[in-house]
Amino acid sequence: MSVHSTVVRTTVPQLMACKGQRKIASLTSYSAPFARILDEVLDMILIGDSTAMVGYAMPDTLSFTIEQVAAHTAAVVRSTQRACIVADMPFGSYQESPRQAFANAARLLASGAAAVKMEGGIALADTTRFLVERGVPVLAHVGLMPQYVNTMGGFKAQGMSEESAERILQDALAHEKAGAFAVVLEGVAESLGRRITESLAIPVIGIGASPACDGQILVTEDILGLSGGRIPKFARQFADVGAVIREAVTQYAEGVREGTFPTLDNCFGVKKS
């Protein structure tokens, strides 16, 4: 017997249809407890390779592997029903060739993702086309690309000069032409964010780009006060979840040390009197 659910996941074409209609709200997640909550509210959840930094305390995203992304993707997919799930292609999993990219993208789709995200400019547009023609929806990522930290010389805002702004616009247009369903635009001058959003027929999802973008994405830990450091200029801390956790853990530890936790109510084989 098959069981039919009435809950339907947001699809890639539905995200595309948001352009000009309503803003796309998205965040990153890599674990079931967070994904379950995010799923109630968001259009899209990204298993970002920023997990390397926020979840594994790595200095950058470069050492994250396809196996790790696939495992986190499966956890997020199992704990969600509504949001469109997009998985990041980690560094080294797609730059070598379109065939390498397809083989690794297929692993992420097999883990339940509906689409993959790849960082890269015009040079990567052929890879986007190769994947899209083979049934892999692609979310392109241009502007500040954290996987290029070594060539960029740090995590620096991009598109500040005319020349660099024009190059990023051409990057975004090339991915649109190649069939990307949307573009993540990170860390660019606000005027460029607006210009690219107006120039593309597909949604532009900003992170440190412009309020004019068709949607926004941030790292969840940054908005919850859980990233353990300085909040980036483009993010806002909407809650201090760290303080809530600290308070709960303090009460637990006090209960254990003072002998008020556990009580007999928490024990097995104890008859209620």
The answer to whether 43 contacts ligand KIV (rule: CB under 6 A) is no
Window contacting ligand KIV (CB under 6 A); options: 5-13, 41-49, 101-109, 165-173: 41-49
For residue 95, give the 3-state DSSP assignment. Answer: coil
| Binding-site annotation: residue ranges for Mg(2+) | 49, 88, 119
The answer to whether 49 contacts ligand KIV (rule: CB under 6 A) is yes
Does residue 96 carry a catalytic annotation?
Answer: no
The answer to whether 88 contacts ligand KIV (rule: CB under 6 A) is yes
Name which position in 184, 185, 202, 204 contacts ligand KIV (CB under 6 A). Answer: 184
The answer to whether 172 contacts ligand KIV (rule: CB under 6 A) is no
Name which position in 207, 209, 213, 224 contacts ligand KIV (CB under 6 A). Answer: 207
CA distances from 38 to 75, 124, 143, 235 (A): 13, 31, 26, 17
Q: Which is closer to ligand KIV, CB of 12 or CB of 247?
A: 12
Name the E strands within the chain: 24-28, 44-47, 84-88, 115-119, 138-143, 182-186, 204-207, 215-218
Dihedral pair phi/psi, residue 66, rounded to 5°: -65, -35
Candidates 255, 235, 79, 49; CA nearest to 145 is 49
Q: Which residue is nearest to ligand KIV (CB)?
A: 48
Name which position in 136, 172, 217, 224 contacts ligand KIV (CB under 6 A). Answer: 217
- Count of C-beta atoms within a 10 Å radius of residue 64: 25
Q: Which of 186, 190, 198, 258 is catalytic?
A: 186
Please give the span between the terminal C-alpha atoms of the chain, in angstroms, as a whole number: 46
Task: Point out the residues that are catalytic.
Answer: 186
- Contact residues toward ligand KIV (CB under 6 A) are 28, 46, 48-50, 88, 141, 184, 186, 207, 217, 219
